[in-house]
Amino acid sequence: MILLNPGPVNVSERVRQALLKADICHRESEFTDLLHDIQAKLLKAFVPGAEAEYAAVLITGSGTAAVESALMSSIPHGKRILIINNGVYGERLSGMVGLHRLGVSELKYDWTAKPDPERLRLALRQHPEVHGVAMVHHETTTGLLNPVKDIAEVVDSQNRVFIVDAISGLAGETIDIAGSHMYMVAGTAGKCIQGFPGVSFVLVRKGFLERMRTYPKRSWYLHLTHYVDDQGRGTVPFTPAVQVYYAFNEALDELLEEGVAKRIQRYKKMAALIRTRMAALGIKPVLPPDRQSNSITAFYLPEGISYDTLHDRLKAAGYVIYAGQGNLENKIFRVANMGALTEAQFTGFLDAFEQACKAA
């Protein structure tokens, strides 16, 4: 089955085979080696040249675990977080801080709109109790690329902490984590890095780590400095998904061999292929080109075909597309181009899509 949903993604045979490596105990040196390998590769891939300034913290859990861990571990007593929300995943950030009553009124936008850095600057001046700002890098809801660089500049100039959910962005979009002074960036193995779901990570600025140690613990499993301290000794606090770590390590080798910039270019090219052909078929994208990411496109449903019908016809041909969420449900469909897929496989999908529309 070809997966055109935004994770889990199709992985290469090489990554799949890595699942079959030897059984090991996570309290032995074999696991320490694996952990250190993964950490070094993550830093090389995402903070090249600034590896010494960041720590890569691994967590067994899907992407949400890394996001929640980053967010809830970065708020001192008496301080708050401001969320920029323009989609389902921004909404999730709000839900997390809301649960602990640690938010201030969020900066909310329409799901197709780009956040405005000047509005953030004003809000930060008005709210001295705000310690950090959190935002999604690539809003998977619509495939909208948020202006992380501009927002990072404002957060930095106002001396606040920037926490970024880059789960669906890392390895698919250009992001200058170190240059933009991002304090916390959450990612996952199971999207553009082309590993399996089950392990996620946070890239943390080392200077901030020391400050975080004095912050209250709000979760037993997800308290980030707990992981940092254990990983400093080459271990992890809880039983890790060892086999998934093996596959993650292999996927990072593949990423570094391909090159992060080349991976991003490949995704961009595949997204363009999909968009050009869809345009020729009269299928309209939800976002204008200047807001679109490299790895997912939201399209309005073709006239006269329901999402379920379209989905089922394509699935019968071997392709899984993705539905809209919230108020976009039954209005749009999404096509992700993440994963170890070839141009021929995307062309095969586009042919099948054309047939599925004709069958109407």
Ligand X SMILES: *Cc1c(COP(=O)(O)O)cnc(C)c1O
334 is in an annotated binding site: yes
Name the residue nearer to ligand X (CB basis): 136 or 236: 136
CB of 36 to ligand X, least distance (A): 24
> Beta strands 296-300 and 332-336: pairing type?
antiparallel
Q: What is the dihedral of CA 150, 154, 157, 160, to 10 degrees?
A: -120
Distance CA 252, CA 45 (A): 8
CB of 90 to ligand X, least distance (A): 8
Other CB atoms within 10 Å distance of the CB of residue 52: 9
Q: Which residues of the chain form contacts with ligand X (CB under 6 A)?
A: 6-7, 62-64, 67, 89, 136, 140, 165, 167-168, 188, 197
Name the residue nearer to ligand X (CB basis): 6 or 339: 6
Asked if 212 and 30 touch (Cβ cutoff 8 Å), the reply is no
Name the residue nearer to ligand X (CB basis): 76 or 197: 197
**Residue, CB closest to ligand X:** 63
Name the residue nearer to ligand X (CB basis): 226 or 334: 334
Name the residue nearer to ligand X (CB basis): 264 or 350: 264
Phi then psi for 171, rounded to 5 degrees?
80, 0
What is the rounded radius of gyration, in angstroms, for the C-alpha atoms of the chain? Answer: 20
User: 61: which residues sit within 8 A by CB, 6+ positions away?
Assistant: 198, 199, 200, 221, 222
Distance CA 162, CA 134 (A): 6
CB of 64 to ligand X, least distance (A): 3
Q: Which residue type occupies 27?
A: R
CB of 159 to ligand X, least distance (A): 26
Asked if 34 and 351 touch (Cβ cutoff 8 Å), the reply is no
CB of 298 to ligand X, least distance (A): 13
CB of 297 to ligand X, least distance (A): 14
Distance CA 272, CA 282 (A): 15
Name the residue nearer to ligand X (CB basis): 69 or 188: 188
Distance of CA 25 to the CA centre of its chain: 29
Give the annotated binding-site residues for substrate: 334
